[in-house]
Structure 1
Amino acid sequence: MSTRIGVRRESNIISTSSRVADDGKLYYQVEVSCCSYANNNELAVMPGERVVRLEWNRRYLSVLGVENNRLYELRLQTPENVFVQEENDLRQVMDSFRVNKVTV
């Protein structure tokens, strides 16, 4: 959601999964594609004067884990056009995410 006039955002959930990591804890992974469309003239009176264009297109990758009665999230994002080149590195970072028990 955007607070700017004439901006529309669309998102699609690409995948969701859960896994038990080597620390024995359950982690959830969510992958979302999000596009932002903006009008070239948001204050135009006539619809024909408002040309919609793609402003940006991103891929969001999240890993969620629970520890210490708190929810922790690792959130990564990359432009969609470079996601293919960075995918292996991003997935490696996601797989390395761990939550630790804090003792006081």
Structure 2
Amino acid sequence: MSTRLGVRRESNILSTSSKTAEDGRLYYHVEVNIKSYANNNELAVMPQDRIPRLEWNRRYLSVLGVENNRLYELRLQTPENVFEEAENDLRQVMDSFRVNKVAA
């Protein structure tokens, strides 16, 4: 959702999974694609004068973990056209995410 006039967003959940890491904690992985479309003339009165165009297309990758009674999130984002070339590095970063116990 956007507060800008003439902007429409589309989102798709691409995958969700959970895994127990070597530290014994459970981590959740979520991948989402979001596309943003903006009108070329958001103040136009007639619909034919508002032509939507793709503004951006991004992949969001999140890893969630719980510790210290708190939810922690690692969120990565990249343009969809860059994702394929950067996928291995991004997944390595995701797999390295760990939550730690903090003494009060």
Q: Percent identity?
A: 82
SS of equivalent to 2:76? strand
Partner of 2:76 in structure 1?
A: 76
1:95 and 1:45 map into 2 onto residues whose CA distance is 49
Paired amino acid for 2:65: G
Residue 86 of structure 1 and its aligned partner are, at CA, apart by 0.3
Shift of 1:56: 0.1
Structure 2: 5+ residue stretches without partners: none
Secondary structure of the equivalent of 1:2? coil
Per the TM alignment, residue 103 of structure 1 is displaced from its structure 2 partner at its CA by: 1.1
Aligned length: 104
TM-score by length of 2: 0.99
Q: Deviations over 1:32-69 (max 9, x none)?
A: 00000000000001111000000000000000000000
Indicate yes or no: 2:63 matched with 1:89. Answer: no
- For residues 77 and 22 of structure 2, the distance between their equivalents in structure 1, rounded to whole angstroms, comes to 25
Please list the CA deviations of residues 55-88 of structure 1 after superposition, one character each: whole Å capped at 9, or x if unmatched: 0000000000000000000000000000000000
Provide the TM-score with structure 1 as the length reference. 0.99
Partner Cα separation in structure 1 for residue 32 and residue 47 of structure 2: 30
In structure 1, runs of 5+ residues without a counterpart are none
- Within 5 Å, which residues of 2 pair with 1:1-104? 1-104=1-104
